Structure 1
Amino acid sequence: MDARNRFMSFDTTNLLDPPRPSYTFSIYNRALFEKSKFKDYDSLLESKLARSQARANHFASILENGNTIGANGTLARPHGIHASKRDKGKVPKTTSVHLVEGEYVATFTIGTEETKSFLLIDTGSDLVWWQCKPCRPNKCYSQNNPIYDSTKSRTYRQLDCIVETSSCQVSSKVYQCTEFGNQCLYDYKYVEGSITKGWIAEDVITFYSDLSRVRILFGCGIDQTSGTQFNGEYSGIAGIGRRVLKGGYSLPSQFEADIMAMCLPGTYSTKASTISFNTTPFKKKTSAGLVPNFRFPNFYFVNLYKIFVNDKEVPFFPSLSRNFGNYDMNGGCIVDTGTIMSRFPRDFHTVFRDIFRKEVRGIPMMEVPLGAFDTCYIEEPGVVPTFPVVKMYFGHQSPDNLLLLQQLRVVVHIRGLFCMAFLPWDQNVAIIGNHQLQGVGLTFDTGTDTLSFDLDAC
């Protein structure tokens, strides 16, 4: 009788939605796959910095031109649904240029053949794509692992963009629905010149961590040789840009994941870390607010409030004081895992640099810059130098909103020097890069609009 009474008196407003399935896969530092191409670590690091500079240059072009980035991370403008008869089977011409691919690598298997794939991941990108046989003649680059063959996967299905109109993101000129082939074609160009072309399809991916399987939409890349060559270490690129509620091919969008958690492997890490969706293994020790930005909905903006070097406050003067509260237009702070060194507006960086220099004690400074680094200190054998602490507060000044950066998160070791790991640029937006976030457990929660930090989680 008690069970019946509980049943009859149960308040249905207390019903909970079933938990969304969680997905976790391994990620590695990109440098781990590419180190054999360089004579030493400094050469490898310089290559990474050049790639990061190209990414920063493209960020700058977007901000300077006032372009709006659509939900898929492209320079979006209205575009018709159907192509003309003469366009049947043609991949659309590239009209948008996307950020250079990311600095971390994810691994999972694809299709019923469970083809092992390594994909670069990128928080600034929406499209998930990989090389896809049968390729156009001589149009797939040589990759180290076997190329996924759509004809051998029983779970492969090409998207019919006439029947499934909403699944072909034709609001961006990157995508095009062919009237007679019913294919959702794409043409995606990256800032360093590499291009992928193909169509949107669907197949199953399997996660190594728990062998769970899920169907996703992806770009079936049949032509990757029209521009700068992609790196054969990787099968493609997985976009993990911020979730959008309608459409979008990024993994957070497809998994309907408000929560995305990752820990970026450290500079010298040879171990795998993880990226998870709909769950987080990390403690939410301190948090920043995620700020929606309607001009750039694919990026992760945060509410940076104050910055200190040791106990010296760096005044937001003049650029940041004007723009950090103006997130929908020209200001703010972006967290970007594809940018290596954090960047500040030039005038703010000058003040930050001068305070940093004054706070360094007993370490000889180089008189001439090293490349982009204007503040470098000479390494002395047998001496472990101590550098100032950088404190970033988000929203307000509280221990609960503090990201504390120390030692190898504030300097980079290159060519026998320790260089301040913050760079200037001529934009009113700041970027927090992956060098500052190495080893930090990050939990992006777009449901509560928070980004939480768990220092030294991996």
Structure 2
Amino acid sequence: MGSSHLLLCVLLWSFCLIALGSTEHNIVVVPTSSFASESTCFSSLSHVPSDPSRASVPLVHRQGPCAPSGSSIVKPSFQEMLRRDARRNHIISKAVGLTTTLSDASVSIPTALGNAVDSLEYVVTLGIGTPAVEQTVLIDTGSDLSWVQCQPCISTECYPQKDPLFDPRKSSTYGTISCQSGECKNLNRTGYHGDCTDDNVCRFSIGPYGDGSNTSGVYSTDTLTLAPGITIRNFSFGCGHDQQGENDKYDGLLGLGGAPESLVSQTAERYGRAFSYCLPPGNGTAGFLSLGASSNNTAGFVFTPMHQFAPGVSTFYMVNLSGISVEGKQVDIPPEIFSKGMIVDSGSIVTQLPKTAYLALQSAFRSAMSAYPLLPPNEDGLDTCYNFTGHSNITVPKVSLMFSGGATIDLDVPSGVMVEDCLAFDGDSSDNVLFGVLGNVNQRTFEVLYDSGRGNIGFRPEPAEA
């Protein structure tokens, strides 16, 4: 038992990262091929061993070869994916709304970058209903309510998705939630608009997002299958019958926030309100999503305290950034610039910093990359992008993030520092922001552990080479 558990830890750790390039001091020399999308999935990384103390499933990029096969629709451009992400991601509007209205043991799941469903976010494949119907859903730590598109849903009310629509009429364990239930009443408190129908069925609504799109339908329960033999009975989720606006080809969303509707809260007695994930560095590798945390295996993690976004708001996981370094030198940023905190969000792509912090990082990074032509700012706000044409190798500076409590993480180069030849950071219009956002690019190759019970977030990089 002990040896098999050790083997599992080694496999999961190595599963979390394939190192790229060679490292010297505070720069990393990487081949330009490492910036390109992979066309082959590393099948040896797509299997997550079973662990009786944790529930795990594979996690993959939405558009990579590791993702379940999708349609042959032409993939959108990088700029279009960023625009869709910005329009769909309602973390800021939800946080602002909640601020004003609320002032008064484990399983592993494979994860992947979502190329198969036209996004730079990450997906897992789960089963819903009895018999279980596979659904490929985004993982989102900035949302609580999980949902999938459901039958009946005509083409004008639902967007095209990768898998067949879930049909609740064919599930023997499906049920609806009544309007009088505490679960329904709680939807209004957490911003999901619980309404009543004429037949006493609770309805949910999410949005509108920045582009006016929204998702609404029936608040329901059914059996959720995380992995063979690992099920969550009476899992509450949204059965969406009406989706409006532009969307990608994913089937729905898995909410990993801290509010009562989330998967984390619904499985709290079983997995202790703890979960972790490893976001793979590119399209051709797989990671994992695990529910639960080992009580005695924290080797390699660095921890920073988790704190509450606002009184009564439990959705978001917040930490305090204390500094940034480039090439081993701390960037000159006044500490008070980071006083509002950072939301750690798997559903955002690039990291959003206060204006002063971003401009200081931008200056240091551009100085270190002065050998390469700088491209004009793109229309989506990324203003530190490069033309690497004619270069077989690129020298990229190391970037490190420092958090309160002494935790420092060295971002993977290039996958955790740059995305599509651009610095994976952006700046707000001022320093007077409610919070910053730590996006998923910076989190790549780390196992990120959210442990609400212990009140901290941990980051564990690849194991050191022997």
Fold match by TM threshold 0.5: yes
What is the Cα deviation at residue 53 of structure 1? 3.3
**Over the residues paired in the alignment, what is the CA RMSD in angstroms?**
3.3
Identity of aligned residues (%): 26
What residue is the counterpart of 2:166 in the other structure?
Answer: 148
| 1:259 correspondence with 2:274 | yes
TM-score by length of 2: 0.72
Supply the distance in 2 between the matched residues of 1:237 and 1:139 (Cα, whole angstroms): 17
Aligned pairs for 1:216-295 within 5 A: 216-225=234-243, 227-231=244-248, 233-241=249-257, 243-244=258-259, 248-256=260-268, 257-269=272-284, 271-279=285-293, 283-294=299-310
Give unpaired runs (5+ residues) of structure 2.
1-50, 105-118
Aligned pairs for 1:68-217 within 5 A: 68=98, 103-135=121-153, 139-162=157-180, 164-166=181-183, 168-172=185-189, 174-176=192-194, 178=196, 181-191=199-209, 192-208=211-227, 210-217=228-235
Supply the distance in 2 between the matched residues of 1:176 and 1:339 (Cα, whole angstroms): 26
Supply the distance in 2 between the matched residues of 1:413 and 1:160 (Cα, whole angstroms): 45
Q: How many residues align?
A: 383
Supply the distance in 2 between the matched residues of 1:364 and 1:186 (Cα, whole angstroms): 50
Q: Please tell me the residue identity of whatever aligns with 1:305.
A: S
What residue is the counterpart of 1:412 in the other structure?
Answer: 418
**Aligned partner of 2:85 among 26, 48, 52:** 52
> Quick check: which has more Rg, 1 or 2?
1
| 1:111-132 per-position Cα deviation (integer Å, ceiling 9, x unaligned) | 1121111112211111111123
Please tell me whether the aligned partners of residues 117 and 145 of structure 1 are also in contact (alpha carbons under 8 angstroms).
yes
What residue is the counterpart of 1:96 in the other structure?
Answer: none
Q: Residue 154 and residue 69 in structure 1: after superposition, are their counterparts in 2 closer, same or farther (change >3 A)?
A: farther
What residue is the counterpart of 1:14 in the other structure?
Answer: none
| 1:141-168 per-position Cα deviation (integer Å, ceiling 9, x unaligned) | 4444222222221111222332x33554
| 1:369 correspondence with 2:382 | no
What residue is the counterpart of 1:344 in the other structure?
Answer: 353
Supply the distance in 2 between the matched residues of 1:179 and 1:197 (Cα, whole angstroms): 13
What residue is the counterpart of 2:322 in the other structure?
Answer: 305
Please tell me whether the aligned partners of residues 102 and 122 of structure 1 are also in contact (alpha carbons under 8 angstroms).
no
Please tell me whether the aligned partners of residues 312 and 355 of structure 1 are also in contact (alpha carbons under 8 angstroms).
no
What residue is the counterpart of 1:7 in the other structure?
Answer: none
Q: Which has the higher contact order (CA 8 A, sep 6+)?
A: 2
What residue is the counterpart of 2:425 in the other structure?
Answer: 422
SS of the aligned residue for 1:175 comes to coil
Further displaced range: 447-456 or 282-291: 282-291
TM-score by length of 1: 0.73
Supply the distance in 1 between the matched residues of 2:401 and 2:59 (Cα, whole angstroms): 26
What is the Cα deviation at residue 35 of structure 1? 9.1
Q: Please tell me the residue identity of whatever aligns with 2:87.
A: A
Q: Residue 431 and residue 183 in structure 1: after superposition, are their counterparts in 2 closer, same or farther (change >3 A)?
A: same
Give unpaired runs (5+ residues) of structure 1.
1-18, 79-100, 326-330
